[in-house]
Amino acid sequence: MRARILLCALATGLVALTACENPDRAAEAQDDPQQVWWDRMQELCGQAFAGEMVRYDEEMDQDWLNRDVIIHVRECSPDEIRIPLHVGEDRSRTWVLTRTEDGIRLKHDHRYPDGTEEAASQYGGHTAEPGTAYAQSFPAGEASKEQFLARDHPDGVHNVWIMEIHPGERFVYNLTRFNRDFAAEFDLTNPVDAPPPPWAVEPRD
């Protein structure tokens, strides 16, 4: 074992030494970081977690203040993960992650209580780089930029959404641009009871 560690250190330095001592980390380093991140999200499927805002604007985010915030990793398939976001009694939001041939796409599905789609919906972005096993970023896509401009929200074209997953610790959702920094953090150490279905899948009249 000592000889093996020494060979690793001589060949690739301290980083490789750490990998030799930790086979899981070595395997992770060889994997596609997006696939590792995706697999970590899949491991949360079926569970719900409570969270809170850790960075926000009191005026813009007042609807989130003093309300229970819960995510539910509700539906998972090999290529799609749907995560309803509950803010108090508001069940309008669902994050939709899709595995594509060249990365991961994030969309925000917004619905009214009867299940019909809001005008501001299906916006998001696609990864532009491999990211890491812990964080993936989604710059606003062209269709989303057009939607923001059509809604007289030009700042939105600069949106970048970041999702972090720290296994067994926390999940972080972050929206950032030059004049905006919003982040909500969810506790993965203590799953909570699953909330009701999002409005997107409620029975239609």
How many of the other CB atoms lie within 10 Å of CB of 106?
A: 23
Structure token digits, residue 119: 């005008």
User: Are residue 6 and residue 67 in the same domain, yes or no?
Assistant: no
Chain length of the chain = 205
User: Are residue 25 and residue 126 in the same domain, yes or no?
Assistant: no
For the chain, how many structural domains are there in total?
2
Report how far residue 44's alpha carbon sits from residue 73's, in angstroms, rounded to the nearest whole number: 6
Domain hosting 63: range is 33-201
User: Are residue 17 and residue 55 in the same domain, yes or no?
Assistant: no
Structure token digits, residue 62: 């007042």
Residue 97 sits in a domain whose CATH number is: 2.40.128.20
User: Are residue 25 and residue 48 in the same domain, yes or no?
Assistant: no
**Helix/strand/coil (H/E/C) assignment for every residue in 172-186:** EEEEEECCEEEEEEE
Q: What's this model's pTM, rounded to 2 decimal places?
A: 0.83
User: Are residue 24 and residue 42 in the same domain, yes or no?
Assistant: no
Report how far residue 46's alpha carbon sits from residue 155's, in angstroms, rounded to the nearest whole number: 35
Beta strand spans in the chain (E):
48-55, 69-72, 75-77, 80-87, 90-100, 103-110, 123-126, 135-139, 160-166, 170-177, 180-187
User: Are residue 159 and residue 85 in the same domain, yes or no?
Assistant: yes
pLDDT digits (tens), the chain, 205 positions? 433 333 333 333 333 333 334 445 444 445 799 999 999 999 999 999 999 999 999 889 988 988 999 999 999 999 999 999 999 999 999 999 999 999 999 999 999 999 999 999 999 999 999 999 999 999 999 999 999 999 999 999 999 999 999 999 999 999 999 999 999 999 999 999 999 999 977 544 4
User: Are residue 172 and residue 159 in the same domain, yes or no?
Assistant: yes
User: Are residue 19 and residue 98 in the same domain, yes or no?
Assistant: no
How many of the other CB atoms lie within 10 Å of CB of 196?
A: 11
User: Are residue 57 and residue 100 in the same domain, yes or no?
Assistant: yes
Structure token digits, residue 193: 């009871």
